[in-house]
Amino acid sequence: MREGKRTVQITRSANGTDATDTHRAAAGRAAPPAATPAPERSHRELAELLERVNVVAVCESNDMRNVGDHWSAAGRTVQWVQRLGGTISLYEAASFQRLGKHSPLQGKLVVVGGSGLVGPGRFESCVESIFEQRPAAVALWGIGHNVQAGVHRDPTSGWRRRVLKDGVTRLWPEWLARADAVGVRDWDAGLPWVPCASAMLPVFDELRDIEPEHEFVVLNHYERGIDTAQARAAGRDFEHLTNNTEDLRGTLARLAAAKVVVSNSYHALYWALLLGRGAVAVEPNSTRFHGFRWPISYASQADWLIAVEHARPAPEALDQAREANLEFSERVLQIGRSLGLVHPREAVNPGLGVPVDPVPGA
C-alpha cells in the first residue's frame, strides 16, 4: 500500500470522472449541454420486460449523459446479471411501490448498484422503497457515500461520518441492514468493500498496456468545467474530454493514452486507477471522492497542474477490485440459487464481465 497522505499544495490520500464526450472539447471550456434525459418507461413496458426474469438489476438511471453512472450498473457490467436479468432505473423501481402487491419486484432477486446512492435525498428514498415491495432478496452492489450539501467532515472520524446541519452524526443509514448482501465502494468504511463493478469489464485488460502518449488528460463532469488556462499557457499537449458520452471504449482508450488523469468525475478517477494511471481529483464536491482504496491527489482549479507531477499509479488496483467483485458475485449468485431464482444447473461464471463494443461512428 502506498503512503497515506502528503501535502504539496494538494493532498494525496490513500483511501475518482465519469466518462467522456466522444468529441475533443476545447481546453478549459465547460462541457456541452447534457443530452435530453431518457424518458422513464411505462409500467406496462416494464412489466413485460421483467415478467420472464427472476433477477432485476436496478441502476441509477438509463440516461447516457454520464458514461460512468451508466456503466456502474451490475446489470450492464456483470455477464450473468445481464443475461439472467432485466435492468431498470432507480426511479422506475421506486414507481412500482404504488402498485402494492402487484409490484414486478415482488419475489425477485433485486441487485441495486453501483453509484453514489447513499446520502440524504431522492436516491436513498428510492432504494428504501424497494424493500417495501417484498423482493425475495436485495443485494447492494458497489454503492457508496455521496453527500454534497449540509455536511462537513467530523475530525474525530474523518469523511465517513456525516455530520449534518442538525448535529446528527451517522456512518451508514439503517436501511442497509435490510439487504441480504451489502458491498460498498468506500474503503475502510465499516462494511464489506466492493468497488464499482465496471472493474469486471474485459476492456481494461486490452487497454492497460497502451503506451501513454501524453503526460495527462483532462476529463470534466458535464456539469462542472475544469480550468485549463494555465496548462494551455504553458504549452502542454493534452486532450480535454467530458463524461457526456456513450462511447465507453473510446473514453477508456483516451484515458489510457495519458500517464495521469485529471478529473472532477468519480468514475474517470476510478478508471484511471484500474488502467494503472495516476489520478488527480479537482475540487471534489462530495464525500464520494474520499473513499478510494488507493492514493489519489487532490487539487484546486488553480494548482492541479502541480498535482500532476505527484500523482502515482496503483498497479494493484485492477486485481484487487476484481477479486472483491468476484467474491461478491459468487455470494449474490448463491443467494439466487438458494431461493430457486437461479437454476442449480444454470451454467454461470461469476467472474465474467460484459464485452464492450465500439460505438459506431465514434
Q: What pLDDT was estimated at residue 272?
A: 99
pLDDT digits (tens, 9 = 90+) for 233-245: 999 999 999 999 9
Give the contacts of 275 (CB within 8 A, at least 6 positions apart): 204, 207, 208, 252, 255, 256, 318
Q: For position 87, what pLDDT does the model report? A: 96
Cell triple for 278: 495516476
Say whether the peptide bond before residue 114 is cis (omega within 30 degrees of 0). Answer: yes
pLDDT band at 174 (very low <50, low <70, confident <90, very high): confident
Round the average pLDDT of the chain to a whole number and report it. Answer: 85
**Confidence band of 145 (pLDDT split at 50, 70, 90):** confident
Cα distance between residue 319 and residue 204, in whole Å: 11
- Residue pair 106/133 in contact (Cβ under 8 Å)? The answer is yes
How wide is the angle at C-alpha 148 spanned by C-alphas 180 and 262, nearest 5°?
100
CA-CA-CA-CA dihedral for 234, 236, 238, 241, to nearest 10: 0
Let me know: does 5 contact 14? Beta carbons within 8 Å: yes
pLDDT recorded at residue 360: 77
